[in-house]
Amino acid sequence: MRFSIIFCGFLAFGLNFAEAQKFGYIDTNFILGKMPEYLKAQSEIEQLSTGWQKEVEDLQRGVDVLYTSLKAEEVLLTEEMKEERLTLIHKKEAELKEYQRKVFGFGGLFFLKKQELIKPLQDKVWEAVEKVAKQNRLAIIFDKSGELVMIYTDPRHDYTDFVLEELGLGDPNDKIK
């Protein structure tokens, strides 16, 4: 009997606590896609990435040409000449790997440029999300575009449009589906 009373008390407390918490969700991919400065930044990053990737491919082609040349002339080369060519090829491969790491590795040029261009825009969105959360007294806001899987979302809890309005990007005729 005592256990039943305690259990009912916890159940009632749990229901009141759950009811008191307000939550909502947003779609940051949709929001960022509506920001002209984000689209411009993405375009700039894509152009830089394409240029750097072309440089990597050119370096790789240079290494491939050296290998092909070595294979074609291998029978004519002395052991010492062959070793010199292999040393050159290994040096070029190391330069290629170093360049790839410098550009595309963690903390590389690509990472830094992306952070330079995208992070201020993300910060702007997070500030708008914080304002919307405070204005609507929300305890939690989920991002449905992230890795959090949301099987079902009730549109009345979608605060994406509020964030767009806070950012000055709201268009009443362009609602999320």
Q: What is the pLDDT along the chain (177 residues), one digit of tens a residue?
A: 443 444 344 444 444 444 557 888 899 999 999 999 999 999 999 999 999 999 999 999 999 999 999 999 988 989 999 999 999 999 999 999 999 999 999 999 999 999 999 999 999 998 998 898 888 888 888 888 877 656 456 677 888 888 889 888 876 555 544
Q: HSE on the CB side for 15, CA within 13 Å?
A: 5
Q: Does 81 reside within a domain?
A: yes
Please state, in angstroms and rounded to a whole number, the distance separating the CA atoms of residues 138 and 9.
26
Number of domains forming the structure of the chain? 1
Q: Does 50 reside within a domain?
A: yes
- pLDDT per position as a tens digit, 93-129: 999 999 999 999 999 999 999 999 999 999 999 899 8
Q: Does 177 reside within a domain?
A: no
Q: Does 3 reside within a domain?
A: no
User: Which is nearest to 35 in space by CA: 23, 24, 43?
Assistant: 43
Q: Does 5 reside within a domain?
A: no
pTM beyond 0.75, yes or no: no
Please state, in angstroms and rounded to a whole number, the distance separating the CA atoms of residues 30 and 159.
12
Enclosing domain of residue 35 = 17-166
Q: Does 6 reside within a domain?
A: no
Per-residue tokens: 85: 């060519």
Q: Does 9 reside within a domain?
A: no
Q: Does 2 reside within a domain?
A: no
